[in-house]
Amino acid sequence: MRIGQVSFRLAGSDGVSLETAKQTRILAELGFSSCYFAGELDPPNAAESQLKANITGSRLVPEAHFTHPEVVWITNHAFGTTVRHPGFDQRLQALSLVIEKALLDFIKDFRIDVLVAQNILAIPLNLALSSAFFEVIRKTGIPAIAHHHDFYWEREKYRTNCVDGLLQQLFPPDLPNLRHMVINSMAQQKLLQMGFESVVLPNVLDFNTPSPGVDNYNRDLREEIGLNEDDLFFLQPTRVVPRKGIELAVELVSKLGDPRIKLIISHSAEYNTIDYLEDLCALAARAHVPLVYLPARFKPVRGTGPHGEKIYSLWDAYLFSDFVTYPSLYEGFGNALLEAVYFKKPFLVNRYQVFEQDIEPTGIKAVKMDGEVTETVVNEVKSLLGDRNKQILYAEVNTRIAQEHFSFKTAAAKLERILNSF
């Protein structure tokens, strides 16, 4: 059986791309092959890593990306206004038809048996792609799975719009050949209220495979990124978007008052969040916090930069970090949290709603905060950093919990059950 994974982008280290890559590996172990269809893909010669997707083919369609000029025009005229532009419907339909044909060609050329919509029926980053996918599965009857990572109603920016009918029809659609997967129990409850049954497939990692260690490539990482021998590497392993609450990590480092701490951001700002990055840098400067923005040195896989400099993997960043900050205000689940557990690192987590409901009850050990860097939080971080035995205990407990609740084995059983339902 061939699975067609479809999304806006399936590249880099955003949550949707990472989870999709993991799914392809799990599906391969179950005997299913996968192909990609997206507006952005990783280079075909990218080095192998634990983040590498196990795919047999791919189709790059620029119109599927949310930054395509025509997609940007449609999005800008759909949201933030209640008045529909006279040319809106025509331009949306024209682009949808282009993508619909590309999807049909993809199904035919790669002999796809099941399509998987990775978040494109949950959030309207590209209305034309969502509409095209809906039309393809409606007209052909091909079995399809909608994997919903986060929904449009969870985002303030989509509340004012002139496309309410489309949102009701597509996000998500009600079709007999479509199954639904969500990444947390809150989303499952919301869909049930709307009349949709769904399976909760949380973010997962291969916790039965030991994490990679120090090797000849990465052993110089700390020196290469400017850390001294006694510096403490605080890793902020998220994209630079406001909902990640990175200002709270800056505040934490400021209140810790330890000049050895360097706060390093490993991921990039989005095309529309440069202002947030600038605000963070200004905040850090005022607070005398060494904030280092290094997305150019950390990628999903190792490589070489334009000037011959080493590019390290995200895994390398975790390996050499001393502490992980994860003060997100909102998350669909929490990839970085699982990655910190995988690398047995002590970490701080803001108790965002999904953490509180789905993760915390498992007994995960961490420094926890409730939206505020209190004196108690600061003291807990200091205590944990100074107690190696406590760090080891936390790591052992967290690994055992993750193997039970957030492993590939858990995901494999759920994916197989959904595919067998067809």
Regarding the domain delimited by 221-405, which CATH topology (the fold level of the hierarchy) does it fall under? Rossmann fold (3.40.50)
Q: Which of the listed CATH numbers 3.40.50.880, 3.40.50.720, 3.40.640.10, 3.40.50.2000 matches domain 2-204+408-420?
A: 3.40.50.2000
Q: Which two tokens stand for residue 36?
A: 């990609």
SS3 26: helix
How far apart are alpha carbons 377 and 256 in whole angstroms? 10
pLDDT score, position 49: 46
Q: Is 353 left (phi over 0), alpha (psi -120 to 50) or beta?
A: alpha
pTM of the model: 0.82
pLDDT score, position 335: 87
Burial 231-270 (b: 16+ CB within 10 A, else e): bbbbbbbbbbbebbbbbbbbbbbbbbeeeebbbbbbbbbe
Decide the pairing of beta strands 347-350 and 367-369.
Answer: parallel
116 HSE (CA, 13 A, CB side) = 28
How far apart are alpha carbons 26 and 35 in whole angstroms? 14
Cis upstream peptide for 172 (omega within 30°): yes
Measured at the CA of 305, the angle between CA 299 and CA 308, to 5 degrees, comes to 140
- 234 bridge partner residues: 263, 323
How far apart are alpha carbons 374 and 376 in whole angstroms? 5
pLDDT along the chain (422 residues), means of 10: 96 85 94 96 63 86 98 98 97 98 98 98 98 98 96 92 97 97 95 96 91 95 96 96 96 97 94 93 97 93 90 95 97 91 98 96 97 98 97 97 93 94 90
pLDDT score, position 45: 59
Q: Which DSSP helix (H) or strand (E) runs through 382?
A: helix 375-385
Q: Which DSSP helix (H) or strand (E) runs through 381?
A: helix 375-385
Q: Is 111 left (phi over 0), alpha (psi -120 to 50) or beta?
A: left
- The segment(s) of the chain belonging to CATH 3.40.50.2000 are 2-204+408-420, 221-405
pLDDT score, position 51: 55
**CB 347 within 8 Å of CB 367:** yes
pLDDT score, position 185: 95
Residues contacting residue 277 through CB under 8 Å, at least 6 positions apart: 240, 269, 293
Q: Which two tokens stand for residue 61?
A: 């369609």
Task: Output the CA–CA distances (angstroms, integers) from residue 388 to 39, 287, 337, 393, 403, in the order listed.
Answer: 45, 28, 20, 9, 23
What are the residue ranges of helices labelled H in 215-298?
Answer: 221-224, 246-256, 274-286
pLDDT score, position 107: 98
How far apart are alpha carbons 71 and 63 in whole angstroms? 7
pLDDT score, position 46: 55
Query: Which of 238, 218, 266, 301 has the alpha carbon at shortest distance from 43?
Result: 301
